[in-house]
Amino acid sequence: MTERNLDFDRIINRKNTDCLKYDFAVKRGMPADVLPLWVADMDFETSSYIEDALVERAKMGIYGYSDAQTPYFEAVAGWMKRHHNWEPKEEWLIKTPGVVFALAMAVKAYTAPGDAVLIQSPVYYPFSEVIADNGRRVVSSTLVLGNDNRYHMDVADFEEKLKAENVKLFFLCNPHNPVGRVWTKEELTAIGDLCVQYGVTVVSDEIHGDFIFKGEHQVFAAIKKEYEDITITCTAPSKTFNLASMMMSNIFIANPELRAKFRKQLDAAGTSQLGVMGLVACETAYNKGEEWYEAMLSYVKANAEFTRQYVEEQIPGVKMIDLEGTYLVWLDFRETGLSVDELEDLIINKAKLWLDSGKIFGDCGRGFQRINIACPRATLTEALERIRDAMKSR
């Protein structure tokens, strides 16, 4: 059997499939005819091995309670070892219906109402949502955009916030969404040592860890034993293999006390087994998806380079922040002179695009737009041409 789904140029019509990206524009307040490059899923078919495994499981005709056994863990751990040189243990694993759900459980498990939880804005917007919605305080140590066109951690500010706000929990985005940074071991060590020093528990969201174009992904918990003891590592096949609707994430917690507190919150939320299709998809992805993954990654990397060149040559006043990881490009419109509202109007009503507005990632994201480049080149080209033409017609 060979991998069949390697034509990433093929445009697949996702409309009328109950697709969040394509079928909910009007319900979400957008014009019906927008081209959507907002939510982080891909417009590519997943590996044919996953497709075949799901069809085979569906044919069984019985969909009763299911759970994963050791071969499932071995598939996940094998991927982590091969790709990230990390060897988690089976007892560390807790499966959750998504990483955002795990973030919410961590807030409940490791903080009390009113406690401070630290983030690094601009950052994936559910971070602040699950903190605030659970009655905790959002504290940001804002990232700094350097002259090298990359964002950097402000370590002095990070420490000041830990001290001044008595921070109990830190949400690390590694690699960082939306700014596309792949944090180095040195950068992670600088903040990791502070978290150890101040007794801060770390939730490391590593869901984009398989999308690395510069440098390499450093699993935060693998840097030092002290980090392993304070870290909840969040992984999933959902971004890597385009399986978001399978509601399947693998959370690793080495510290037995932290693990017990996390499990208690899962019990309180009434979750137990996950859907069998998600389990089948995950195990198959990590065992048989290598060829598809490598081909997809190469295609997305070429899309990133295409986007960089196009923005530089065709869209004056707009800058693409260097993309080291993730398939989400952070575009800087601040030099265009457009206000935030004018920029929104230009993107939505003139360019007819549905992107993620920078302002939802924090105030420091105002004047930016996030665009998903995990799509056929023709779709990406059309989106960039729409931005170019809308800017020209101002």
Question: Over pLDDT 70: what percentage of the chain?
Answer: 100
For residues 332 and 78, give the distance between their C-alpha atoms in angstroms, rounded to a whole number. 38
The CATH class of the 20-47+290-392 domain is alpha beta
Average of per-residue pLDDT across 4-23: 97
For residues 310 and 382, give the distance between their C-alpha atoms in angstroms, rounded to a whole number. 11
Q: What is the DSSP string of 6-48?
A: --TT-----TTS--HHHH-TTTTT--TTPEE--SS--SS---H
Angle at CA 228, nearest 5°, toward 82 and 167? 130
Kindly list the domain boundaries of the chain, sorted by start residue: 20-47+290-392, 62-288
- What average pLDDT does the chain have? 97
The CB-side HSE value for 210 (13 A sphere, CA atoms) comes to 27
pLDDT of 1 > 90? The answer is no
Cβ-contact 324, 150 below 8 angstroms: yes
The model's pTM is 0.97
Average of per-residue pLDDT across 56-77: 96
Determine the pLDDT at residue 5. Answer: 98
pLDDT of 394 > 90? The answer is no
Q: How confident is the model at residue 234 (pLDDT cuts 50, 70, 90)?
A: very high
- pLDDT, tens digit, for every residue of 275-331? 999 999 999 999 999 999 999 999 999 999 999 999 999 999 999 999 999 999 999
Alpha helices in 242-288 (DSSP H): 256-269, 276-288
pLDDT of 373 > 90? The answer is yes
For residues 325 and 204, give the distance between their C-alpha atoms in angstroms, rounded to a whole number. 16
Average of per-residue pLDDT across 238-252: 97
For residues 158 and 190, give the distance between their C-alpha atoms in angstroms, rounded to a whole number. 10
Average of per-residue pLDDT across 150-156: 98
- pLDDT, tens digit, for every residue of 159-205? 999 999 999 999 999 999 999 999 999 999 999 999 999 999 999 99
Determine the pLDDT at residue 308. Answer: 98
Determine the pLDDT at residue 379. Answer: 98
Average of per-residue pLDDT across 262-266: 98
pLDDT of 216 > 90? The answer is yes
Average of per-residue pLDDT across 49-76: 97
Determine the pLDDT at residue 133. Answer: 98
State whether CATH 3.30.470.20 applies to domain 62-288.
Answer: no
